[in-house]
Structure 1
Amino acid sequence: MENHCIEEPFIIRSYRKSELAHLYNPDMPLVPAMRKMRYWIQRNPELYEAMYRSGEARGDHRYTRRQVRLIVETLGEP
């Protein structure tokens, strides 16, 4: 019997920043994965501006559903 890996579809919802970073960088330890995610966001001025224009704080521990949608539209699904 073959063992098929079935991927779950990615769902746009609120994610802890560490959780989403790990989805995008599954082979990296958590802290470097979070740094890399932050780097990708900061290096894209349009994404960065759009993510925080509605009053979300940069220090929040979660990305809102709206922010996750912006990230996925820019970076693609993890």
Structure 2
Amino acid sequence: MTNFDTNSMEEEKFPIRSYGKGELAMIYIQGVQQQSAVKEFNAWIRKSPGLEQQLIETGMNRTARKYTPMQVKLIVNALGEP
């Protein structure tokens, strides 16, 4: 009889927590400089239907340096896990 580790069968979930904007952008967009990743990531957010408005409703502003856990959850729901 074979033992299966049920934890190894589950997919790893992306941790929902506070992330720096550059940090999250670099997780989604790898292989480029942070500034380029942030610029492209912001474009993704603007292009995703309703996402930018939802983020603004949670209190996000362009000068903030971090995303809150709620904002990260909205982003992951809209863009998928990185």
- Aligned partner of residue 45 in structure 2, secondary structure: helix
**2:77 alignment partner in structure 1:** 73
Between the aligned residues of both structures, percent identity stands at 41
**What's 1:63 paired with?**
67
Query: Structure 1: where are the runs of 5+ without partners?
Result: 1-7
Indicate which of 49, 56, 59 corresponds to 1:52.
Answer: 56
Is the CA contact (8 Å cut-off) linking 2:25 and 2:38 kept in structure 1? yes
Q: Which of 25, 29, 32 matches 2:33?
A: 29
* CA RMSD in angstroms, aligned pairs only: 1.4
Is the CA contact (8 Å cut-off) linking 2:29 and 2:37 kept in structure 1?
yes
TM-score by length of 1: 0.82
Segments of 4+ moved more than 6 angstroms: none
User: Rg larger in 1 or in 2?
Assistant: 2
How many residues of Structure 1 are paired with residues of Structure 2 in the alignment? 71
1:12 aligns with 2:16: yes
Unmatched tracts of structure 2, length 5 or more? 1-11
